[in-house]
Amino acid sequence: MLTILIADDQREEREGIEFLIHELGFFLHIETAENGRKALEYLEQNPVDILFTDVRMPIMDGLQLTTEALTLQPKLKVILFSGFAEFEYAKTAISLGVSEYLLKPINVEAFRNTMQKVIAQLTDQEQEHIAAQIKLEYVKKHVLFNLVNGLGIPPSMKEISFELPDRYHGMFLLEFDKNFFENAGPECEEFILSLLEDPVDYVNLNGCQSLLLFPGLPASSSCSFRDLGEHLHDSILDKYKVHCYLAINDELTMLQDLSAALIQLDQLMEYRFFSPDYFVFEVKKDFYFSNDRLPGLSDCDLLDQIRSNLKERDIFSLRANTDLLYQKYANQAQFSQLYVKYMFSSLYQEIMTYSAPISEIELSHGIEKIYKSEELNEIKEIIMAGITLLDREYNSSEFLNRDIAAVKQYIEDHYGEDLSLDLLAAKIHLSPHYLSSIFKKNTGCGLNKYIKNVRMNIAKDMLQQTHLKVSDICYSVGFQNVSYFCQNFRDFFGQTPEKFRQHNQK
């Protein structure tokens, strides 16, 4: 509701203006002041939309009040009213920025027209302000999307002021198993932001991932970023009945380092494949596989998982399970050294059978080093060296290139269909986690990001080269929600699909 401040030293005049406002049906919040000084004091403490003031008043007249008021609130609309005798005197107010002038006694029709005109101007002004803020928010999201993807600020937007901080105090990567953000719709962003008391910048990365960037520390000193992460997970689970995984970085991140920080969070998120019942991961914590988190796993369970990791070429889980086996005995005060050395030497032998052929002498030498080790950590280093050798061979293998090429080709042939990590992994007979890991390592791009890039660029070509409706293009490139598609296109290219077509259609 708009606020009007009526300033006049005569009570009857003030009440008369109030009566007209109510009688003519103008829905305004009304404040009054008996002189210019009191009106100015009110303006110093409160926002006002319309100042309705007499020219001649004691202590401070209307012209002086207008000068001071417009200095305080430049967008204020000022309506002066006075007797005919002061008309020439009041004309000088025009140079001060007075919106309208009315003569006493006030003519009802003139009052109605003046108020309608001023209110219409304020309404238009507010709509223009809202439109400008929305456009600025679009630009900000596009710039942030570029920054987190390592593309920098577009040259055309470097001169625009959108108030980005030079650093962020915290980053949250939110990830879901399914195409959650498209299915949940735009209101999901509103819901997530409503859960946070602190200012935050939101960037949707793809259908499964979004990023929260915190310019400052949590408002409550008793609340950590981890607490916020757990609150987000629980609230999303309660509303949408799905689990959200969060990777958290609570270290200062400069604007130019956002891309590297996102890569770090993306790597941290790999732990969720190994520990599906754990939902919040922090950069500062290096180990998520302590024995108390997986108390039911026996040596046989772990060794079976390790064998499965070897068959699936899942190096990340292989390292994690081996580390867990090591931690199990590192945390024990007493154990049979002979049993542990036998178990790890058997593990070493299995790992080496998957690597390039080695001689019996080399294999025996490695096993001998394990039996001669005086500390458990030395045994771990020998095993991890074997895993590193295996990892190097997998990454240089023709099978790896073949698998990645097959996934890329499938995406390019089926971009209009429902694509997921599980589906793509099944197509080439790999574990979802291993596919995610090798694809990211060898392309420098996560699988979801790659799918989005393909779809966005095909949508761009279709906008340039066809006359298909935006909704038809949306569905043809694999999106099911037109609003979400338009939002993604705008974040990706800095323009809505309609605007892009207007400027780029061939």
Q: Which of 479, 461, 482 is nearest to 470 (CA)?
A: 482
Pair 264, 321 in one domain: no
Q: How far is CA 237 from CA 192, 243, 245, 274, in A?
A: 12, 6, 11, 20
Which of 27-36, 168-177, 368-377 comes out lowest in average pLDDT? 368-377
pLDDT at 89: 63
Question: What band does 86 get if pLDDT is binned at 50, 70 and 90?
Answer: low
The answer to whether residues 86 and 55 touch, using CB atoms and an 8 Å cutoff, is yes
Mean pLDDT check: name the lowest of 27-41, 145-159, 410-424: 145-159
Please tell me the predicted confidence (pLDDT) of residue 406.
Answer: 92
pLDDT in tens, 172-199: 999 998 889 988 888 899 999 999 888 8
Whether residues 85 and 16 share a domain: the answer is yes
Q: Tell me if residue 213 falls in helix, strand or coil.
A: strand
Q: What percent of the chain has pLDDT over 70?
A: 89
CATH of the domain at 486: 1.10.10.60
Q: Are 391 and 442 within one domain? A: no
Asked whether the CA dihedral 490, 493, 497, 502 is positive or negative, the reply is: positive
391 and 436 inside one domain = no
Residues 69 and 104 placed together within one structural domain of the fold:
yes
CA distance 494 to 488: 10
pLDDT, tens digit (0-9, with 9 covering 90-100), for 445-503: 889 999 999 999 999 999 999 999 999 999 999 999 999 999 999 999 988 999 999 88
Q: What pLDDT does residue 121 have?
A: 94
> Is the residue at 137 inside a domain?
no
* pLDDT value of residue 109: 95
Q: How confident is the model at residue 81 (pLDDT cuts 50, 70, 90)?
A: confident
Contact 27, 5 (CB under 8 A): no
Residues 499 and 390 in one domain: no
The answer to whether 103 touches 83, Cβ cutoff 8 Å, is: yes
User: What residues have CB less than 8 Å from 168, skipping those under 6 apart?
Assistant: 201, 213, 214, 215, 252, 253, 255, 258
Residue 294 forms part of a structural domain = no
* Structural domain containing residue 194: 167-282
- What single DSSP character describes residue 344? H
Confidence (pTM): 0.65
Return the higher-pLDDT residue of 243 and 285: 243
Sheet holding 170-175, edge to edge: 201-204, 209-214, 170-175, 245-249, 280-282
Asked whether the bond before 276 is cis by omega within 30 degrees of 0, the reply is: no
> What is the pLDDT at residue 91?
64
Looking at residue 397, its pLDDT comes to 63
Can you tell me the distance from the alpha carbon of 354 to that of 314, in angstroms, rounded to the nearest whole number? 12
Angle 420-422-423 from CA coordinates, rounded to 5°: 65
How many domains in the chain?
4
Between CA 92 and CA 294 the distance in angstroms is 82
User: pLDDT value at position 85?
Assistant: 55
Residue 406 backbone dihedrals phi, psi, to 5 degrees: -65, -40
185 within domain boundaries: yes
Please report whether residue 147 resides in a domain.
Answer: no
Q: CA-to-CA distance for 124 and 120, rounded, in angstroms?
A: 6
Instruction: Check whether residue 243 and residue 313 sit in a common domain.
Output: no
Q: Identify the domain boundary among 125, 152, 179.
A: 125
Residue 160 lies in a domain: no
pLDDT tens sequence across 389-403? 888 877 666 667 888
CA angle 89, 93, 94 (to 5 degrees): 120
Whether residue 409 is found in the same domain as residue 365:
no
Confidence of residue 100 (pLDDT cuts 50, 70, 90): confident
**CATH number, domain with residue 44:** 3.40.50.2300
Q: What is the DSSP pairing of strand 201-204 with strand 209-214?
A: antiparallel
131 in any annotated domain: no
Q: Considering Cα of 322, then 324, then 326, then 328, what sign does the dihedral take? A: negative
CB 471 within 8 A of CB 482: yes
C-alpha closest to that of 272 among 176, 182, 188, 183: 176
Same domain, 276 and 199: yes
